[in-house]
Amino acid sequence: MTTSFHHYVRSLTPMLSAGILAADVMHIGEEIEKLDGTGVKMLHFDVMDGVFCPMITTGPCFIKGVKTKYLKDVHLMVQNPITKISQFAEAGADMITVHLESCPDHIHALIQAIKKLKNVNSVEREIIAGVAINPGTPVDSIKNVLDVVDMITILAVNPGWQGQSFIKTTAKKLQQAISLINESERDILLCIDGGVTKDNIHDIAQMAPDIVVAGSAIFDGKDPQANARFLVETLKKGKAKEIIHET
Ligand code: DX5
Ligand code: ZN
């Protein structure tokens, strides 16, 4: 069943989720303020543990410390996520995405567990539960979670670093994911993450994603506000996704 929070997130799409780890950490509050009026509604937190992928980034303390009106979109690139998801819920996550590769044997149970967590931001919201796949993982491998998952993220780069180049085969994977979502007859959000730039956002918008993550393309140390505005506007002009699912 689709909830009112899910409907709200759907109503925002296509939407840009701002990869906040690319921002100037010495001025994080000011960096977030620069997103005002741009149309951005989500902050994307890339959590990397140095085990699932080489980089170590941040964790629940930082996410909790970011006081914001924006939805907190938490992308967990960590090993053994089942032992960590509740800390991220307590830190204020509105969306928690886990990697299929981090828990292939129990991914269904993991998604169910995320959906049972409380959203501490509001009793009216649940937590949107997402599954992500790396560039080397076939889209078909998520078909057994389509009955429970709220969001699918296709990584367009290998997890680890900001500012990598968009892997071209991602376009085909988006098409495959849209077919699977339509077959599921559920309103599953489709997200693309990594390698998004002002140069390729027009093409990405034609791939009909619901949510697009952009880190370094927004927080380039020059004009985050203009960057975010340009990315949102271009995304909104993209191809509308044909939605065939429950209401
Ligand atoms: C993959 C992460 C990303 C990504 C965003 O490592 O999940 O969210 O690095 O950064 P940009 O937009 O700079 O590719
Ligand atoms: Zn991410």
Q: Sort 104 into a burial class: Cβ within 10 Å, 0-12 / 13-18 / 19+.
A: exposed
- Homologous superfamily (CATH) of 4-237 is Aldolase class I (3.20.20.70)
In the structure, what pLDDT confidence band is assigned to residue 224 with cuts at 50, 70 and 90? very high
Q: Is 210 a catalytic residue?
A: no
| pLDDT at position 246 over 90 | no
Quote the percentage of the chain above a pLDDT of 70: 96
Active-site annotation holder among 46, 73, 94, 187: 46
In the structure, what pLDDT confidence band is assigned to residue 191 with cuts at 50, 70 and 90? very high
Q: What is the pLDDT of residue 244?
A: 59
Task: State the Cα–Cα distance between residues 95 and 151, nearest whole angstrom.
Answer: 9
Q: Sort 65 into a burial class: Cβ within 10 Å, 0-12 / 13-18 / 19+.
A: exposed
Quick: pLDDT tens for 23-35.
Answer: 999 999 999 999 9
The one-character DSSP state at 24 is -
Pocket of ligand 1 (CB under 6 A): 19, 22, 44, 46, 75, 157, 159-164, 193-196, 213-217
